[in-house]
């Protein structure tokens, strides 16, 4: 009796082979998602961190907020850039619409609250985009052991049928059905292997997603503080409302 993988494959029934092929397909799909997400997460994080360096001079106390929108073309592949540029755009547009009323501290705070809500919505969209494919990894990791167990149950049934059938060598005890039991357990082993690897992928990317979310939170919080400083500085520069905020 050949107990190698190839030998067990040759002795497998139709159901067991189908289960193994399904598990291999699930594994290949999980690996493809993992590779694509790894590239997306790595590039998104690197570009977002680099964007911060380009953004800092523009949102400094003496910076030029109106030039932040010019960064959109260069940093369109950075998740953080899309969130920050949206927030700055909401602020500058709101200041223009308020006109002289932008010198009122209350109006400025209301505007900043609206900007914060826009930033939060943009953050959720970016994180949802980055998490694309992760629910599939979760599904594969949770269902692969059961798919393997399904093949195991059919394999054991087949093994006992062979043991009960004299024409197939039945009546020989455990030696008669050892190949069938090994075949049955192989599908469970494959299912567990697929689930373990996929769970690693899922946990890895969940951690990366939380890190990028933290990066966006830190940057958006600092952005809000800088916008408040800009608004107050401009209000002091034009206390009578004669000067409209430069945007």
Q: What is the pLDDT of residues 95-126, one digit of tens each?
A: 888 777 767 778 878 888 888 899 999 999 99
Sign of the Cα torsion 59, 60, 62, 67 reads negative
Average pLDDT, the chain: 82
Rounded CA-CA distance 196/132 in Å is 20
For residue 247, name the pLDDT band (cuts at 50, 70, 90). very low
Sign of the Cα torsion 46, 47, 50, 51 reads negative
For residue 224, name the pLDDT band (cuts at 50, 70, 90). confident
Give the model's pLDDT for residue 7: 59
* Mean pLDDT for the stretch of residues 136-144: 95
**Percent of the chain, pLDDT > 70?**
81
* Mean pLDDT for the stretch of residues 214-228: 86
Backbone angles phi, psi at 73, to 5 degrees: -65, -40
Region of residue 60 (left: phi > 0; alpha: psi -120 to 50; beta: else):
beta
* Mean pLDDT for the stretch of residues 167-178: 58
For residue 243, name the pLDDT band (cuts at 50, 70, 90). very low
Give the model's pLDDT for residue 109: 82
Q: Please check the confidence at residue 244 and state whether its pLDDT lies above 60.
A: no
Q: Please check the confidence at residue 179 and state whether its pLDDT lies above 50.
A: yes
**71 in Cβ contact with 198 (< 8 Å):** no
Lowest mean pLDDT across 32-41, 90-99, 207-216: 90-99
Q: What is the pTM of this model?
A: 0.79
Give the model's pLDDT for residue 198: 96
* Mean pLDDT for the stretch of residues 163-173: 58
* Mean pLDDT for the stretch of residues 61-79: 82
């Amino acid at each position: 009796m050949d107990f190698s993988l190839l030998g067990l494959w040759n002795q497998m029934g139709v159901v067991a082979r189908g289960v193994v092929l399904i598990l291999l397909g699930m594994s290949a799909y999980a690996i493809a998602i993992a590779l694509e997400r790894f590239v997306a997460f790595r590039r998104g994080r690197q570009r977002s961190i680099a964007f911060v360096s380009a953004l800092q001079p523009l949102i400094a106390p003496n910076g030029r907020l109106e030039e932040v929108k010019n960064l959109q073309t260069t940093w369109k592949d950075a998740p953080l850039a899309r969130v920050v540029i949206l927030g700055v755009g909401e602020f500058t547009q709101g200041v223009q619409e308020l006109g002289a009323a932008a010198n009122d501290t209350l109006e400025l705070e209301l505007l900043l609250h609206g900007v914060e809500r826009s930033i939060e919505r943009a953050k959720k969209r970016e994180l949802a985009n980055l998490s694309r494919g992760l629910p599939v990894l979760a599904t594969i990791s949770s269902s692969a052991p059961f798919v393997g167990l399904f093949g195991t149950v059919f394999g054991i049934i087949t093994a006992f049928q062979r043991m009960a059938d004299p024409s197939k060598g039945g009546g020989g005890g455990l030696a008669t059905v050892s190949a069938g039991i090994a075949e049955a357990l192989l599908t469970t082993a494959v299912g567990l292997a697929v689930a373990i690897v996929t769970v690693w992928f899922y946990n890895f990317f969940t951690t990366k997603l939380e890190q990028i979310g933290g990066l966006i939170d830190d940057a958006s919080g600092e952005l809000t503080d800088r916008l408040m400083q800009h608004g107050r500085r401009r209000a002091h520069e034009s206390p009578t409302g004669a000067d409209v905020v430069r945007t």
